[in-house]
Amino acid sequence: MDLSFHNITIIGVGLIGGSLGLAIKKRSPGTHILGVGRNQDRLEVALRRGAIDDFYAGHDYRLANQDLVILATPVENILATLPSLGEHLASGAIVTDVGSTKRAICEMAWRSLPSQVEFIGGHPVAGREGLGVENSDADLFANAPYVICPKVESGSHNIEQLRFLVELIGAQPVIMSAEEHDVALSYVSHLPQLISTALAGMSNPEHVELCGSGFRGLIRLAASSYSIWESIFATNRDNIDKALEDFMEHIQWMRSALWDKGLAEEFSRAAKVFKLANRRR
């Protein structure tokens, strides 16, 4: 099976958008990739790196001949782009995204895009500390989950085309609803960010001078910028609140178990989860 998308546009050629471009070009060099963004200097870096073949800088762009458009900007930018995106697209185009939450984006897309344009939500669960296209990597998505969120009643063959693209770049496609995605990610992505931030924020600097690799590993996410997370929290607040509630209840149980020696079983369960989480590595 060959890739059916011959002309792809990536709006937002940063770490994820640039990595998608590099991954696609590595495995399907004949596919033409157009980059769209606001900063011409950054787009020129993407062009030199081979993540894109051409670019538009600014808002004056036309995507009439594009088979697939990938929105690879932060959540708030995706939400701001969607209402006017349809006027740039040809009938039959497919639009997807890489946003870290899905309900708000999918609802906006299905409400605002023309009926002849299909939107399928997406989220590659991959990343690294360094941001920007200069840190992009053609193998960033290798063995990573890549969530695909189609409209429930669509039954579209385009889902299989997107699944093929996901597999082509080395990722593992997972099809689920936007609601299921946001619940799951509140526990395995958004909650860990808050825990890491809280641990770093409550720590005494004098104590930190004595820290080892364990502490540094736990607060690694604390280096993340709030500007990246603000829109994620805003669009998944209800699920994150529930995850925090569950976590606080569990911490309270562990506090009690500390005194009655009930932690051995918990350590055993946690070790099994660790192995499960690392089986893809």
- Taking the domains of the chain in order of start, what are their residue ranges? 7-176, 181-277
Domain 7-176 has CATH 3.40.50.720: yes
Half-sphere exposure of 260 (CA within 13 A, CB side): 7
Question: What's this model's pTM, rounded to 2 decimal places?
Answer: 0.92
CB distance 145 to 174 below 8 Å: yes
CA distance 13 to 49: 11
Long-range contact pairs involving 75-78 (C-beta distance under 8 Å, separation at least 24):
75/99, 75/100, 75/101, 75/104, 75/105, 75/231, 75/232, 75/235, 76/230, 76/231, 76/234, 77/12, 78/105
Q: Do 181-277 and 7-176 fall under one CATH topology?
A: no
**pLDDT tens by residue, the chain, 281 residues:** 678 899 999 999 999 999 999 999 999 999 999 999 999 999 999 999 999 999 999 877 788 889 999 999 999 999 999 999 998 898 999 999 999 999 999 999 999 999 999 999 999 999 887 789 999 999 999 999 999 999 986 668 899 999 999 999 999 999 999 999 999 999 999 999 999 999 999 999 999 999 999 999 999 999 998 998 999 999 999 999 999 999 999 999 999 999 887 899 999 999 999 999 988 65
Give the C-alpha distances (Å, rounded to integers) separating 189 from 213, 259, 274: 21, 30, 15
Q: Which of 140, 20, 110 is nearest to 70 (CA)?
A: 20
Which class is domain 181-277?
Answer: mainly alpha
Give the C-alpha distances (Å, rounded to integers) separating 104 from 95, 128, 186, 233, 247: 15, 25, 14, 12, 25
If one counts every other C-beta atom within 10 angstroms of the C-beta of residue 32, the result is 16
> What is the predicted pLDDT for the residue at 260?
84
